[in-house]
Amino acid sequence: MTQTIWIARHANRLDFVNPDWFLTAQRRYDPPLSEDGIVQASQLAQRLKKENIKAIFSSPFLRTIQTANQVAEVLDLQIKLESGLSEWLNPEWMSETPEKMPIHELVTLFPRIDRNYNSRVVAQYPEIGKTAFLRAGETARRLVGEFSEDILLVGHGASVLGATMGLVGDVVETEIKAALCCLIKVVRQEARWVLELNGDTSHLAQVEEVIRFN
């Protein structure tokens, strides 16, 4: 049995480009994509256009939904919001549980969101790093156990790392890479998972020089 799991990190975010955005934002810990991030997400969608992806799962944060939506439009798929793929709910980054856009507003902006899908794992604030990685790993394993076709997971730096390690294990030859809008490809070969792409950014016209996680 073969199955391909694609794992992508969201594209560039507005507060990385304009840090002052945070000072007046309504939802400080839920920034949207920046203008160049929207371009990156579009390039990711074109990269995945010919792949046999049958379902898209996204963290419920705005930047991941925007990234996933670009792919969903190209592949004509719904977006399933999965809390288990959320950002690392790090109290050093966030002073309280991050406020996110209400679901009714999200569905209005992104009609491809599947209202009937319920998260398989729910992220709980606050988290230490180990908890966040284990949570994302559990999410990936539950999703591949339930959905047997090729799927795409769209997350954040920590949840991309956690989801990948949750499938391939903690013994790999190279460090997992999680640059903005990168792409990871993990393939099931019989009873094991093989890492075939590690943080690929060849689809992007512009990539970050220093990988940032918060």
Which pair of structure tokens corresponds to residue 203? 């689809």
Domain architecture of the chain: domains with CATH: 2-200 (3.40.50.1240)
Cα angle: 81, vertex 191, 118; to 5 degrees: 15
* pLDDT confidence of residue 199: 94
- According to DSSP, residue 128 is labeled -
C-beta separation of 123 from 86 below 8 A: yes
| Dihedral (CA of 102, 103, 107, 110) sign | positive
pLDDT at position 172, please?
55
What tens-digit pLDDT sequence spans the chain (214 residues)? 689 999 999 999 999 999 999 999 999 999 999 999 999 999 999 999 999 999 999 999 999 999 999 999 999 999 999 999 999 999 999 999 999 999 999 999 999 999 999 999 999 999 999 999 999 999 999 999 999 999 999 999 999 999 999 999 875 556 898 999 999 999 998 889 999 999 999 999 988 766 666 6
- The three-state (H, E, C) secondary structure of 42-80, written as one string: HHHHHHCCCCCCCEEEECCCHHHHHHHHHHHHHHCCCEE
Distance between CA atoms of residues 159 and 173, nearest Å:
20
Which phi and psi angles does 64 have, rounded to 5°? -75, -40
Confidence (pLDDT) at 211: 65
pLDDT on residue 210: 62
Q: Which pTM does this prediction carry?
A: 0.96
Identify the burial level of 104 via C-beta atoms within 10 angstroms of its C-beta, where 0-12 means exposed, 13-18 middle and 19 or more buried. exposed
